[in-house]
Amino acid sequence: MSDQRKRTELSDEDRYQRIWEIVSGIPEGCVLNYGEVARLAGLPGKARLVGRALGRAPKRMQLPWHRVVNAQGQISFPDDSSKGSRQRDLLESEGVEFVDDAIDLERFSPERAIDRMLWGPEEKG
């Protein structure tokens, strides 16, 4: 790896750091998908890295890891796994609704958080 690339490229730790920052900023009752987190972290196309970063996050960070789901609005753990059910419980306890095991990503996006705050959890905007 040349010095030139090293100057412009982020280190692995930098990338995790950025991802953690984005995830920590997801408001309660909202979800983002892996790809979106990657984009917001300035790492477009690196959705897989987001999952990895979440797994590596130090526990004391208390990252709201459960607010990240896949692009289909579904939890990316097996339904019968303890992690999967924990994630779902956490989300439902903050008001996120599942229909057929999937979340309406648009409806529960941070963008819409202000709408829910003002007008309640209505289906239509």
Q: Given the rule CB under 7 A, which residues bind DNA?
A: 12, 33-36, 45-52, 54-56, 65-66, 68, 70-72, 76-77, 87
At closest approach, how far in Å is the CB of 124 from DNA?
23
Nearest residue to 18 via CA among 55, 43, 35, 47: 43
**Which is closer to DNA, CB of 78 or CB of 95?**
78
At closest approach, how far in Å is the CB of 35 from DNA?
3
CB atoms within 10 A of CB 10: 13
**Which is closer to DNA, CB of 70 or CB of 121?**
70
**Which is closer to DNA, CB of 36 or CB of 96?**
36
At closest approach, how far in Å is the CB of 74 from DNA?
8
Residues ≥6 apart with Cβ < 8 Å to 122: 116
At closest approach, how far in Å is the CB of 113 from DNA?
19
Dihedral pair phi/psi, residue 54, rounded to 5°:
-65, -40
**Which is closer to DNA, CB of 55 or CB of 120?**
55
Distance from C-alpha of 71 to C-alpha of 122, rounded to nearest angstrom: 22
Dihedral pair phi/psi, residue 56, rounded to 5°:
-90, -10
